[in-house]
Amino acid sequence: MTTNSYARPSGRAHDELRQVRITRNFTIHAEGSVLVEFGNTKVLCTASVDEKVPPFRRGSGEGWVTAEYGMLPRSTHTRSDREAAKGKQSGRTQEIQRLIGRALRAVFDLEALGERTIVLDCDVLQADGGTRTAAITGAFVAAQDAVNGLLREFKVSRNPIREPVAAVSVGMVEGTPLLDLEYLEDSACDTDMNVVMTGAGKFIEVQGTAEGQPFSREQLDTMLELAQKGILALQDKQREALAG
């Protein structure tokens, strides 16, 4: 990989994350409540502990982790219809919340969690690309806060979270590989890839989609390397926030 001809609207380097901020205790009722910002993308992630499990888990001794995702109607450039008013969640919404749920579940030891559910609600207050990767990154911190509460209250005897998880988007825009796409870049890109990784540097999800030109194996490799770099930086941000 050599040329990086595409000039990013923000002036960022092609392998540079947006400014990332993770604010804990953003609201008061949830067991974990995090506002995560990837530049202008702002997602409120709450973790709620429910002392029940879904029917398919009852009596198993194991817990469950699930996620829901939503966008406020005017979180976007033009107003989107409210899904509650339309009476159903779009395919996109369902796809994203299934992704967030799988990503978080992958780092949980559900037996250690015990028969309870952690529900992660990720609501986009302001969107500028990368809402699903910001959501996963923030939901991990909210989940950790909720789990810390369970540990403090002796409801669980060992930490049910095995390792951190974070996510980032990468893409090819006009032949240039870019890290952490913002909305304008996302609209223009040929390939959009979302990568979810653990703290140990292994993959939980790799989802690459050619929006324009199909991508070669070489481009795939380049994007995976960019993603790995970005996720390491995001995990530093998560650690700082949890230490703060």
Residues that bind a copy of itself (CB under 8 A): 27-30, 33, 40, 42, 44, 46, 48, 50, 68, 70, 72-79, 82-89, 91-95, 97-98, 102, 106, 119, 121, 123, 125-127, 193, 197-198, 200, 202-210, 213-217, 220, 224, 228
Residues 28, 86, 80, 124, Cα dihedral to 10°: 20
- What single-letter DSSP state applies at residue 63? -
Q: Are 29 and 145 in contact (CB under 8 A)?
A: no
In the complex with a copy of itself, which residue's Cβ is closer, 60 or 216?
Answer: 216
Instruction: State the Cα–Cα distance between residues 244 and 239, nearest whole angstrom.
Output: 8
Distance CA 41, CA 53 (A): 32
The torsion angle over the Cα atoms of residues 103, 105, 109 and 114, rounded to 10 degrees, is 160
Inter-residue contact 61 to 112 (CB < 8 Å): no
Q: Nearer to a copy of itself by C-beta: 17 or 35?
A: 35
Virtual CA dihedral for 13, 14, 16, 21, nearest 10 degrees? 110
Residue 157, CA distances (Å) to 62, 108, 131, 148 in order: 14, 14, 33, 11
Please provide residue 230's backbone torsions phi and psi, each rounded to the nearest 5 degrees.
-65, -40
Q: Please identify, using beta-carbon distances, which residue of 50 and 186 lies nearer to a copy of itself.
A: 50
* Cα 151–Cα 154–Cα 155 angle in degrees, nearest 5: 85
Least Å from the CB of residue 196 to a copy of itself: 9
Amino acid identity for residue 150 in this structure: L
Q: Which is nearer to a copy of itself, 106 or 112 (CB)?
A: 106
Our CB check for a copy of itself shows the closer of 4 and 40 to be 40
Pick out the residues of the known binding site for phosphate: 92, 130-132
CB nearer a copy of itself, residue 30 or residue 161: 30
Q: How far is the CB of 22 from a copy of itself (least distance, A)?
A: 17
